């Protein structure tokens, strides 16, 4: 199955983006590189996939950066298509999209307590210094600061 990401829906969050950009998930880095060579606005998407909501279907998460601006979006499989969830916008150029595995342990620094990932979980890591996990529970993604 091919997942197309319509970046125009999120362009306002990346500032100064004027053209429609589409990326095939399976070719994200190659397309970004080709766009840079062609002089198009430089997007640098990264992609992970797993079952984030525990329904047994393949879901996706993408992080798209332009300069210091970045957005992270989850796409959960729903019927024949996907439902998108805007997870996070930030201005950290060193954020990396990571997959935290179901059953793995984490520590929630805001609530000062530990926990176990109920499903495979979307995480943004920042150069080994900090991380934010987006845990899907009861129909919503919860933001958890797992490192500081």
How many domains in the chain? Answer: 1
- Residue 23: which domain range? 4-147
| pLDDT digit string, tens, across residues 99-117 | 999 999 999 999 999 999 9
CA angle 86/48/141 to nearest 5° reads 35
Q: Can you tell me the mean pLDDT for 14-21? A: 35
User: What distance in Å separates the CA atoms of residue 121 and residue 133, rounded to the nearest whole number?
Assistant: 7
pLDDT exceeds 60 at position 140: yes
**Token pair of 13 as six digits:** 């969050």
pLDDT exceeds 80 at position 37: no
Higher pLDDT, 98 or 17: 98
Higher pLDDT, 144 or 93: 144
b/e sequence 89-109, b meaning 16+ C-beta within 10 Å = ebeeeebebbebeeeeebeee
pLDDT exceeds 50 at position 38: yes
């Amino acid at each position: 199955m091919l997942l197309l990401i319509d970046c125009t829906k999120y362009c306002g969050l990346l500032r100064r983006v004027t053209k429609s950009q589409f990326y095939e998930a399976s070719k994200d880095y190659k397309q970004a590189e080709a766009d840079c060579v062609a002089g198009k606005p430089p997007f640098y998407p990264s992609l992970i996939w797993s079952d984030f909501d525990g329904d047994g279907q393949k879901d996706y998460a993408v992080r798209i950066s332009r300069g210091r601006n970045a957005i992270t979006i989850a796409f959960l499989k729903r019927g024949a298509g996907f439902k998108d969830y805007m997870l996070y916008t930030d201005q950290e150029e060193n954020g990396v999209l990571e997959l935290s595995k179901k059953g793995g342990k984490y520590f929630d620094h805001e609530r000062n307590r530990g926990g176990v990932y109920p499903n495979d979980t979307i995480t943004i890591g920042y150069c080994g210094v900090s991380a934010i996990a987006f845990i899907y529970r009861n129909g919503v993604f919860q933001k958890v600061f797992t490192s500081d």
